[in-house]
Amino acid sequence: MSEILTSPSRKANGTLVVNRVLVSAHAVAIIGQPVFAGGYLGGDYDMLWLHRWGADAVSYLAYAQIIAALVLWLTRGPRWLFWISLLLAAGETAQYLAGMAGALDLHIPLGVALVTGAILTTIAVWRPQTWRTRR
């Protein structure tokens, strides 16, 4: 059985702060990607370099977010953030590979879905949480 707590443990609370920062940074980085791509498509060819650099930054933040979400889960935090982080990282890996292959028919709609997912995750992680203890 599990019992509902009104506040997280001290360790989980500190881990939640780290997760909120990482999720927010990840969202900002992924929102920048269409801006860089749009600049490139508008004729500023240096923006393609920024788009690729941004893709690296988004990937690194996604992997850090997975690790932080796993630590949060292990400190009696919510499980959903780990699974969503894993799903986003998998999608971003596919996105990265599609972009490198020039498969814009997959790259663009997947990018829209990933930006939406990152924004919704950011909103969810900043909402008050219901914490559960494991017995």
The three-state (H, E, C) secondary structure of 21-60, written as one string: HHHHHHHHHHHHHHHHHHHHHCCCCCHHHHHHHHHHHHHH
pLDDT at 119 over 70: yes
pTM here is: 0.85
**Which pLDDT belongs to residue 76?**
85
Taking the alpha carbons of 63, 66, 69, 70 in that order, is the dihedral positive or negative? negative
CA 25 to CA 75: how far, in whole Å?
22
pLDDT at 3 over 50: no
User: DSSP secondary-structure letter at 5?
Assistant: E
pLDDT tier for residue 130 given thresholds of 50, 70 and 90: low
CA 77 to CA 96: how far, in whole Å?
30
CA 114 to CA 91: how far, in whole Å?
7
